[in-house]
């Protein structure tokens, strides 16, 4: 029996449903709001709300929720029912235009970084009609932006939507300068590839660290890691196949276009890649994917780990943000194109990206910073903390030729026009691949590979949109004023190579030589989250956010504080979990086992057998027990001192330098003990249990 693909989007209030359920006038009015960003007339909202409710009820919905993305990694929303009791005691269903458009959750319970005080807790959610509503488990989900009473953003969507406007405005200016009058809208597109681990649910439930922190805080390396390279794109096991099938079905219903599923490099690691979409929808869909994936795993007796580094010693997980710009008439602005004219336009957009990434490398690095990602970046499995761009040899060559002016044919008919005609053919596909670059050109888009698997892609997307908008703005200023258009373009490309060429690196980013080379080039190397976060409040970065109305200075500062706070909270929870596991599981098991050794030693001795190995092993474990006990105590005291500093940055540094170091030391001792304690006595599932049981 063939699969019924008509399920795709069956739970989405999409264009087809809108056409079907709304009158032509209402439909066109809503469409204009979606496509051109016009505010919706209240009367229209009323009609849309009513149609949306009727449709949702047909889908089995009893509730609705304003779904939003506060500055945590999760989404939120309270669920209200459609029920409105009448005087007669009957229940009728109600859903007004106002309920569709605005909501009023309590903002004080979400991180605001000083933007909200509890006594002025009002926050609003407002409908983002550019991302379609959908029904999930009896609830109508209405995608919304979340902001404070004063209008300040409290979420990841608001700056994203603002950055879309910024890049649209500047990209259109550049297109107009090229004489393109057809395109009326330029939108970023994003395809977010998602990596994750799948492990057995029962084993997962037995580990406090996995349940509370999403990663293993203890665990000796298994005899087999990923050295055989047999997992990447290997045969997918039956249980995982069943899971992937259920996941596809659940996501397809919700209109999430998942396309590719395969095994990743580490054992138990997998990847899901969707077809790219408009950035705002892609970000919502990635959030939804992260939620659905956990649930489907649970239903299949599995647990999905979205943490950046669930297991030491094997690769961690990332999320690749594939990013491009496209016009509403279907042109991908990062596609080299076939004609010299298209090539020229491509080179201008490419120059904009190159200069933007060089000028704001620190901000882009910040967009991928979180406590979990610190274990990946620079760990020889993911790019280091240094941002650079991979263009491929061919394209780099083309740029250098233009920069040096060697391809320019000096005919009187205008420089670059003929120059471009003599360009080597621009590479049409990124066949020469480089998997080590944090920011790689892959033929018709850039792939930003630093983002952590649990992070929202909205952050790196709004940073990219904004910095590229800024670069395009400078280019548009020049193109609008210049007298010789072709010569100006040549100059733009030349200056980009001259002033920003240092950001281009086509070699292996995982090597130590690159780290040294990058330092010589003056590229920032932000090793860890705490250092990376400070980019959020660097004056030039606040300025670019303000210039394009993406975030105010206050909003940048609030995000900075929230990121530091989150970092400290995560390390706090991890350290406390470690102490608990050490005191209540690992130490007792080690003590019991060592006691058993001592008894064996005595009874052997009583039988006239002197066994030194038994005694030595007991001594070794006994020493480790003392050391683990001492380190646990030290960590406990260090945690008590956390609250002492009122300065957020200082506190974050304390977590990074003191707490994390102690955690590493404690783990080392515990992992050593694991290797000697009998398997039957070890209190928690081992790496082999976790990585090879599905
Ligand atoms: P690979 O990285 O293995 O070559 P693809 O190039 O097919 O795979 O795509 C990787 C991801 O990039 C997919 O999610 C795809 O939808 C996305 N993608 C492709 N084209 C674009 C584009 N123009 N804008 C944004 N994302 C894109
Ligand atoms: Mg990829």
DSSP per position, 321-373: EEEEEEETTS-BTTS--SSHHHHHHHHHHHHHHHHHHHHTHHHHHHTT--TGG
Residue 393 tokens read as 């040899």
pLDDT at residue number 687: 96
Q: Is the pLDDT of residue 636 over 50?
A: yes
Query: Between residues 108 and 362, which one has the greater pLDDT?
Result: 362
Do residues 266 and 197 touch, judged by C-beta distance below 8 A?
yes
Angstrom distance (rounded) from CA 267 to CA 226: 6
User: What percentage of the chain has pLDDT greater than the value 90?
Assistant: 74
How far CA 179 is from CA of 326, 418, 488, in Å, comes to 17, 19, 15
Residue 300 CB–ligand 1 contact under 6 Å? no
Q: Tell me the pLDDT band of 478, cut-offs 50, 70 and 90.
A: very high
Query: Between residues 496 and 113, which one has the greater pLDDT?
Result: 496
- Which atom of ligand 1 is least distant from the CA of 273? 14
Q: Is the pLDDT of residue 415 over 90?
A: no
Residue 139 CB–ligand 1 contact under 6 Å? no
Query: Between residues 1 and 307, which one has the greater pLDDT?
Result: 307
Q: Is the pLDDT of residue 337 over 60?
A: yes
Residue 278 CB–ligand 1 contact under 6 Å? no
Q: Tell me the pLDDT band of 643, cut-offs 50, 70 and 90.
A: confident
pLDDT at residue number 78: 85
Residue 324 CB–ligand 1 contact under 6 Å? yes
DSSP category for residue 374? G
Question: Which of 258, 324, 350, 445 best tests ligand 1's pocket when mutated (most atoms within 8 Å of CB)?
Answer: 445
Q: From ligand 1's centre to the CA of 293, what distance in Å?
A: 21
Residue 275 CB–ligand 1 contact under 6 Å? yes
- Which atom of ligand 1 is least distant from the CA of 323? 25
Q: Is the pLDDT of residue 182 over 50?
A: yes
pLDDT at residue number 406: 64
Mean pLDDT for the stretch of residues 71-81: 85
Q: How many CB atoms lie within 10 A of CB 512?
A: 9
Mean pLDDT for the stretch of residues 595-599: 97
Q: Tell me the pLDDT band of 425, cut-offs 50, 70 and 90.
A: low
Q: Tell me the pLDDT band of 427, cut-offs 50, 70 and 90.
A: low
Smallest CA separation from ligand 1 atom 14, residue: 191
Q: Tell me the pLDDT band of 413, cut-offs 50, 70 and 90.
A: very low
Q: How many CB atoms lie within 10 A of CB 45?
A: 24
Q: Is the pLDDT of residue 657 over 90?
A: yes
pLDDT at residue number 1: 65
Q: Tell me the pLDDT band of 117, cut-offs 50, 70 and 90.
A: low
pLDDT at residue number 261: 84
Residue 210 tokens read as 């996995």
Query: Between residues 152 and 618, which one has the greater pLDDT?
Result: 618
Query: Between residues 91 and 305, which one has the greater pLDDT?
Result: 305
Angstrom distance (rounded) from CA 354 to CA 340: 20
DSSP category for residue 537? G
- Which atom of ligand 1 is least distant from the CA of 275? 16
In whole angstroms, what separates CA 182 from the centre of its chain? 34
Residue 273 CB–ligand 1 contact under 6 Å? yes
Question: Which residues are CB-neighbours of 625 under 8 A, at least 6 positions away?
Answer: 587, 590, 591, 594, 673
Mean pLDDT for the stretch of residues 141-158: 91
Do residues 83 and 534 touch, judged by C-beta distance below 8 A?
no
Residue-wise pLDDT for 263-273, tens only, equals: 888 889 999 99
How much is the mean pLDDT over the chain?
91
Q: From ligand 1's centre to the CA of 448, what distance in Å?
A: 11
Q: From ligand 1's centre to the CA of 457, what distance in Å?
A: 15
Mean pLDDT for the stretch of residues 379-392: 87
Do residues 387 and 479 touch, judged by C-beta distance below 8 A?
no
pLDDT at residue number 503: 98
User: Mind giving me the DSSP string for 202-250?
Assistant: HHHHT-HHHHHHSS-SS-PPPS--STT--STT-PPPHHHHHHHHHHHHH
Angstrom distance (rounded) from CA 233 to CA 245: 17
Residue 322 CB–ligand 1 contact under 6 Å? yes
- Which atom of ligand 1 is least distant from the CA of 190? 25
Angstrom distance (rounded) from CA 169 to CA 473: 9
Neighbours of ion ligand 2 (CB under 5 A): 193, 320
Q: Is the pLDDT of residue 481 over 60?
A: yes
């Amino acid at each position: 029996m063939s699969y019924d693909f008509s399920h795709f989007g069956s739970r989405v209030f999409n264009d087809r449903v809108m056409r079907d359920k709304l009158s032509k006038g209402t439909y066109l009015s809503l469409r204009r709001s979606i496509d051109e960003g016009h505010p919706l007339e209240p009367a229209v909202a009323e009609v849309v709300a009513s149609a949306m409710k009727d449709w949702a009820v047909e889908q089995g919905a009893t509730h609705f929720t304003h779904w939003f993305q506060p500055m945590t990694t999760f989404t939120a929303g309270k669920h209200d029912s459609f029920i409105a009791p009448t005087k007669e005691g009957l229940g009728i269903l109600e859903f007004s235009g106002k309920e569709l458009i605005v909501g009023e959750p309590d903002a004080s319970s979400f991180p605001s970084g000083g933007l909200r005080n509890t006594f002025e807790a009002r926050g609003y959610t407002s409908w983002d009609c550019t991302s379609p509503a959908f029904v999930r488990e009896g609830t109508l989900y209405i995608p919304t932006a979340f902001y404070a009473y004063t209008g300040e953003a409290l979420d990841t969507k608001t700056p994203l939507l603002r950055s879309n406007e910024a890049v649209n405005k500047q990209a259109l200016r550049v297109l107009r300068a090229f004489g393109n009058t057809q395109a009326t809208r330029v939108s970023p597109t994003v395809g977010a590839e998602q990596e994750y681990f799948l492990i057995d649910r029962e084993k997962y439930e037995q580990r406090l660290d996995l349940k509370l922190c999403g990663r293993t805080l203890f665990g000796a390396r298994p005899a087999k890691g990923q050295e055989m390279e047999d997992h990447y794109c290997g045969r997918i096991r039956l249980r995982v196949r069943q899971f992937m099938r259920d996941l596809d079905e659940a996501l397809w219903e919700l209109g999430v276009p998942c396309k590719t599923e395969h095994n990743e490099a580490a054992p138990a690691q997998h990847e899901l890649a969707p077809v790219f979409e408009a950035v705002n929808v892609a970000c919502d869909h990635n959030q939804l994917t992260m939620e659905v994936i956990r649930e489907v795993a649970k239903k299949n007796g599995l647990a999905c780990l979205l943490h950046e580094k669930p297991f030491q010693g094997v690769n961690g997980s990332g999320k690749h943000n594939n990013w491009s710009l496209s016009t509403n008439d279907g042109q991908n602005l990062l596609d080299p194109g076939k004609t010299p004219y298209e090539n020229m336009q491509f080179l201008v957009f490419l120059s904009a990206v190159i200069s933007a990434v060089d000028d704001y490398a620190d901000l882009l690095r910040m967009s991928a910073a979180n406590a979990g990602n610190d274990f990946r970046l620079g760990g020889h499995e993911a790019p280091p903390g240094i941002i650079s761009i991979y263009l491929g040899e061919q394209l780099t060559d083309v740029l250098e030729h233009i920069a040096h002016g060697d391809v320019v044919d000096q005919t009187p008919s205008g420089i670059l026009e003929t120059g471009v005609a003599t360009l080597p053919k621009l590479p049409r596909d990124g066949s020469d691949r480089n998997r080590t670059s944090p920011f790689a050109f892959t033929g018709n888009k850039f792939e930003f590979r630093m983002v952590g698997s649990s992070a929202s892609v909205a952050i790196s997307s709004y940073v990219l949109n904004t910095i590229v908008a800024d670069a395009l703005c400078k280019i548009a200023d020049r193109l609008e004023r210049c007298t010789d258009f072709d010569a100006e373009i040549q100059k733009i490309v030349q200056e980009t190579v001259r002033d920003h060429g240092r950001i281009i690196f086509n070699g292996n980013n995982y090597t130590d030589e690159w780290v040294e080379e990058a330092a010589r080039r003056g590229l920032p190397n932000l090793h860890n989250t705490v250092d990376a976060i400070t980019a959020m409040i660097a004056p030039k970065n606040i300025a670019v956010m303000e210039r394009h109305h993406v975030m105010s200075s206050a909003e940048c500062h609030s995000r900075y504080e929230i990121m530091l706070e989150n970092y400290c909270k995560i390390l706090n929870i991890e350290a406390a979990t470690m102490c608990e596991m050490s005191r209540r599981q690992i130490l007792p098991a080690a003590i019991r086992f060592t006691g058993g050794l001592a008894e064996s030693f005595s009874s052997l001795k009583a039988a006239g057998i002197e066994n030194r190995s038994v005694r030595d092993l007991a001594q070794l474990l006994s020493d480790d027990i003392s050391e683990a006990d001492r380190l646990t105590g030290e960590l406990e005291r260090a945690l008590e001192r956390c609250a002492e500093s009122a300065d957020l940055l200082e506190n974050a540094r304390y977590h990074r330098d003191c707490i994390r170091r102690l955690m590493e030391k404690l783990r080392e001792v515990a992992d050593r003990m694991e290797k000697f304690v009998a398997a039957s006595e070890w209190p928690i599932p081992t790496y082999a249990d976790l990585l090879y049981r599905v």
